[in-house]
Chain A
C-alpha cells in the first residue's frame, strides 16, 4: 500500500503546479472582475515559448543549467508581449460590459489564440525534456522524486510569498487591493484604475505563462494543452474564493491532495474528484473558502 508520505508529496507537487496557474486567474478576477477563459491559452503559450527557447539553447550547446533561467524568461516574454496586446488592444474597450459578455470576449480570445499557436508552432508536439532530469533525483520515503519537482514547489511558495508581499507592503500593491475592494471609490480617490488593470492583466498573464513554462520540461507540449487547464484553474479559484490569494493556495492544496489520495487509493474516482470537491465546498461555503464579505446594494 502506498505510504502516506508519497500521497503527501505527490499531492504537494501537483498543488504547486495548480497554485501558480490559479494565482494569475484569481488576481485578474479579483481586480478586473473578468474570468479569463484565455488563461489556458496563455499557459500554453508560455509552454510553447519555453519549449522553443530550451530547444534552441540546447542546440546551441550552451551551459545546461542556464536553461532553467529560460523558464522565467519565457514567462516574462509572454507576459510582457501578449498581456499588453490583449489588454490594451481588446479588453480595454469592453470594460463597461456585462460580466458574462466579458467572459465570452475572453473565450473568443482563447479560440483565436489556440489557432494562432497552431499557426506558429504547428500540430506536432514539442519536447524540452532536458531541464527535468538535469538536477537529478532525491529519494523521499521509498520513492525517487526529481529535484525539479522539488524546485517546482519552492517556486510556487516563492511566487506566493512575493505576490503577497507586493500586495500588502508596496504602494502599488495596496492600490491594487483598493481596486479589488471597490473600483468606483478607488477611481473617485484618484487611482488610475486603467493602469492598475493593465498591470494586473500583465502580471496575471505572466503567471499563467510561468505555469506553462515550468510544466514544459515535464510534458510534451501539444495543441489543446490549455483546454484541460482552464477548468482545473477555475475549480481551484472557485474553491478558494475568487480574488483571494490564500484561497487559491488552500484550494490548490485541497485539490492536489484529494487527487493524489484518489490516485493512490481509489483510482476510479480520480476523474471527477475535483468536481466533487468543488461541489462540496460550494455547498458548505457558497462563495468559496475565503470569500470577502460583500456589501449588498439595496
Chain B
C-alpha cells in the first residue's frame, strides 16, 4: 500500500493558502472566508451523503453556530468576553453547541432515511427559524451585528482583523480536512458507504448502523456550527435566514456540485459557487437565478461526479 500522502499535500496546501492570502486583495479574502466557512458545512454534508443521507436542515447547525455564543451573552446580559468576540473561540463554541444539539436530535433522526430524514431535518431547522423570528431580544428577523477583537486571546491590531480571520479559517479548514480524511480512512468511516449500499448486511456483520449514522450526524453538525461561526464573523451580522430551508438547500446544491469523491471537493465547489453567484449578480442582475439554474444543470449533465471529476480519476467514487 502506498504511504498516505494526503497529510503532506494538506500541509503544503495550508502553507500556500496562508502565504497566498497575503497577496490577494481584501474582497478576495472576504470571498475566500465565505467559501471556506460554507465549505465546512458542505464537508459535513459530504460525510452524511457518504452514508446515503441528505440533510436539508444543516441550516439549523449553521445558524446555531452563528448565534450560540452571542445569543447567550445577549439573553443573560453578559459583558462581551472571549467567548463572544474571539475569532477562534467563537466558532469553536458554536461548533460545540451545534454538536450538543445534534447529539440530542440524533437519537431521533438516526432512525430515518432518504426523504424523511431530509424533511425531518428541514422541519427542525424551520422550527429554529420560527423561534428566532419570535425573539425580539435577538432582533427577530433583523438579527444583530457581531464583532471580533481577538484571535485565540491575542488582541488584533486594527486592519489585521480580516487577515486574522482568514488565517483562522484556513487553519480550521485544514484541521477539518485532516480530521475528515483520517475519519473516512478509519474503520468507522468506511462503514458509511457500506450503510448506503446495504444497511441490513452491515447490521448482520455486527456493526451498529444507528451509532455510525448518529456519529456522522454529530460530526456534520459540528462542522456546520464552526462554519456558521466563521461566516458570521466575516459578515459581521447574523439573522434567522441562516436557518431557512433555502440556505440549507444551497448547501445541498453545492454538495452535489462538488461531488463526494474527495474531502477537498466541497471547498472547491463552494468557492466556484460563490464566484458564479457573484459574477451572475454583477453581469446579469436581473436574471441571476436563470444563470445559476443553467450552470447547475450543466454540471449535473456533464460532470455527474461533481466538479472534482475535472481533475481526473483520482480517488475512488464514494
Interface residues of A (CB under 8 A from B): 35, 90, 93-94, 97, 99-101, 104-105, 107-112, 114-116, 118-119, 227, 231, 234-235, 238, 242, 268, 271-272, 275-276, 278-279, 282-283, 286-288, 296, 298
Between A and B, 30 residue pairs with Cβ closer than 8 Å are A35-B115, A90-B297, A97-B300, A100-B54, A100-B252, A101-B256, A104-B252, A104-B300, A105-B300, A107-B293, A108-B300, A111-B293, A111-B296, A114-B290, A118-B286, A119-B287, A231-B126, A231-B245, A235-B119, A238-B116, A238-B119, A271-B133, A272-B127, A275-B127, A278-B120, A282-B116, A282-B123, A286-B116, A298-B200, A298-B201
Please tell me if the beta carbons of A275 and B123 are within 8 angstroms of each other in the complex.
yes
Give complex CA distance A282, B256 in Å.
Answer: 26
Please tell me if the beta carbons of B130 and A271 are within 8 angstroms of each other in the complex.
yes
The size class of the interface chain B forms with chain A is 35 or more
Give complex CA distance A110, B297 in Å.
Answer: 11
Note all chain A residues with C-beta closer than 8 A to B245: 231
Note all chain B residues with C-beta closer than 8 A to A276: 123, 127
Note all chain B residues with C-beta closer than 8 A to A118: 286-287
Quick one: which of B112, B134, B292 contacts A271, CB cutoff 8 A? Answer: B134
A-contact 0/1 string along B32-75, CB 8 Å cutoff: 00000000000000000100001000000000000000000000
Give complex CA distance A227, B249 in Å.
Answer: 12
Per DSSP, are chain B's interface residues mostly helix, strand or loop, or mixed?
helix
Please give me the residue from chain B that is nearest to A278 by CB atom. B123
Q: Which of B123, B249, B252, B290 has the most A CB atoms < 10 Å from its CB?
A: B123
Give complex CA distance A160, B198 in Å.
Answer: 38
Q: Which of B119, B249, B290 has the most A CB atoms < 10 Å from its CB?
A: B119
Please tell me if the beta carbons of A111 and B290 are within 8 angstroms of each other in the complex.
yes
Would you give the shortest CB distance from B121 to chain A, in whole angstroms?
10
Q: Which of A104, A110, A286 has the most B CB atoms < 10 Å from its CB?
A: A104
- Contacting A at CB under 8 A, from B263-306, are 286-290, 292-294, 296-297, 300-301, 304
Total CB contacts across the A-B interface at under 8 A: 109
Give complex CA distance A119, B293 in Å.
Answer: 15
Please give me the residue from chain A that is nearest to B128 by CB atom. A272
Note all chain B residues with C-beta closer than 8 A to A115: 286-290, 293
Would you give the shortest CB distance from A41 to chain B, in whole angstroms?
10
Would you give the shortest CB distance from B294 to chain A, in whole angstroms?
6
Per DSSP, are chain A's interface residues mostly helix, strand or loop, or mixed?
helix
The reply on B174 being an interface residue by CB < 8 A is no
Known: A35-B115, A268-B134. A279 touches B290 (CB 8 A): no
Known: A104-B256, A287-B116. A272 touches B130 (CB 8 A): yes
Note all chain B residues with C-beta closer than 8 A to A100: 49, 54, 252, 256
Known: A111-B290, A112-B294. A104 touches B127 (CB 8 A): no
Would you give the shortest CB distance from B193 to chain A, in whole angstroms?
14
Give complex CA distance A279, B125 in Å.
Answer: 11
Please give me the residue from chain A that is nearest to B256 by CB atom. A104
Give complex CA distance A111, B130 in Å.
Answer: 25
Give complex CA distance A101, B293 in Å.
Answer: 13
Please give me the residue from chain A that is nearest to B49 by CB atom. A100
Give complex CA distance A118, B297 in Å.
Answer: 20
Give complex CA distance A114, B130 in Å.
Answer: 25
Please tell me if the beta carbons of B124 and A112 are within 8 angstroms of each other in the complex.
no
Give complex CA distance A245, B246 in Å.
Answer: 27
The reply on B253 being an interface residue by CB < 8 A is yes
